[in-house]
Amino acid sequence: MPGILVRRSGFLGVAFLALAFSLLAGLPAFAHTFERTTTLLRIDAARNFEATLRLDLDALALGVDPSIEPEEAAKTLLAMSDADFQAAEDGLRRVLSRRLRVRVDGKPLEFTISFPQFRPRPERLGVEVFGLDVRLQGRVPPDGKEILFFASRAFPAIELTFADEGTGRKEFHICLPGEECPRIKLTAGEANAGLWNFVVIGFKHIVPLGVDHILFVLALFLGGRDMKTLLIQTGVFTLAHSATLALSTFGVVSLSPRIVEPLIALSIGIVGLENFLRPSGVSRGRVAVVFFFGLLHGLGFAGILAETPLVEGQRLAALLLFNLGVELGQVAVLAAAFLLSLPFKDPNQYRRLVQRPLSLVLTVIGLVWAVSRVAS
């Protein structure tokens, strides 16, 4: 009887995990929607502040899903009467005022909102009407000691770069949706002190933000949980993605996200399918596949560093620290997977109840995402 209960509970646990992974397939895969809200917060020597955020402003003005095609959103806005268009613009400003906050020493800071790329009469459709940038401008009190930036849960994770133009100091943070960004000191400090935050940024890029990278690492784990197989696969994957991450960061190689992102999704499906069809272990063919897909994932990792304004002397340090954070994120995923797999000590039971079912789920997710990303 205890053995039956263990088998049943194990099967139910795996079924629950499979359902959870299946639900992930319904998450937005890749579209005109932004996975991160790139934000540059600058303060000059006269204590004027300027925050520039990259958002899908046309969709926000219409109050529709950000996955709407840019041409359709622009066409809808341009078809409005002058009164309706003004109402949409006023509504956009109200939404941004409610969802974005800047505080100095705990007190709200007033700011103006502008759209630097605003085009009331674009010459052709496909050009965003309000643009993709929103700019907040204001003045920090002379005695202000720390500044805090906050965006509501309605926006994707905030990728924040703080630049004090008076001292040359920079800080870098990733803030999860609805999470207050760390308080930033407005007093003088080391110009490179904020670089250490790239370890946290790299970690968060995997856990919890990098769902596709998490699933690929899990696919590698399901390909063999013995130490030799894990070391070979993760070592090859790390070598490959570190190489393209470095080459892309320094501008040696470049590939459009519209090509990279569908291939990253496809990598999950292919490795999952291989796990499902063959026994655990590692072959030369498997190593080659993992290396190739590692190159693609490195190009995906490079997006953050490419979008972050860094002086040349900081780029190598930021790259190394970011990559360290990525590796720590991968170790965390592998450690969690290993602990969850411990109850399944029998290899046959593990393959029947864990490896094959979850590999099949990963295959479906990867293929669905690949098609969605190509179509978006």
Query: What is the mean pLDDT, run by run of 10 residues, along the chain of 376 residues?
Result: 44 44 43 67 89 91 83 87 91 94 93 88 65 92 91 89 82 87 75 70 87 94 90 94 92 88 94 87 86 93 70 77 93 94 91 93 95 85
Alpha helix locations (H) across 173-255?
A: 197-206, 211-222, 227-249
Tokens 């098609």 -> residue: 371
What per-residue confidence (pLDDT) applies to 368?
94
Counting beta carbons within 10 angstroms of the beta carbon of residue 213, is it exposed (0 to 12), middle (13 to 18) or buried (19 or more)? Answer: buried
Q: State pTM to two decimals.
A: 0.66
Counting beta carbons within 10 angstroms of the beta carbon of residue 241, is it exposed (0 to 12), middle (13 to 18) or buried (19 or more)? Answer: buried
Coil vs helix vs strand at 316: helix
CB atoms within 10 A of CB 239: 14
Closest of 280, 278, 256 to residue 30, by C-alpha:
256
Bridge partners of residue 172, in order along the sequence = 161
What is the token pair recorded at 257?
A: 């996200």
To the question of domain 36-194 being in CATH 3.10.129.10, the answer is no
What is the crossing angle of helices 197-206 and 284-307, to 10°? 130
Counting beta carbons within 10 angstroms of the beta carbon of residue 237, is it exposed (0 to 12), middle (13 to 18) or buried (19 or more)? Answer: buried
Q: What are phi and psi of 246, to 5 degrees?
A: -65, -45
- Separation between Cα atoms, residue 276 and residue 146, nearest integer Å: 53
Per the CB < 8 A criterion, the answer to whether 276 and 356 are in contact is: yes
CB atoms within 10 A of CB 340: 13
What per-residue confidence (pLDDT) applies to 257?
84
What per-residue confidence (pLDDT) applies to 282?
74
Coil vs helix vs strand at 42: strand
Spell out the domain ranges in the chain.
Answer: 2-30+206-375, 36-194
Bridge partners of residue 79, in order along the sequence = none
- 138 Cβ neighbours under 8 A, 6+ residues apart: 48, 49, 102, 109, 110, 111, 112
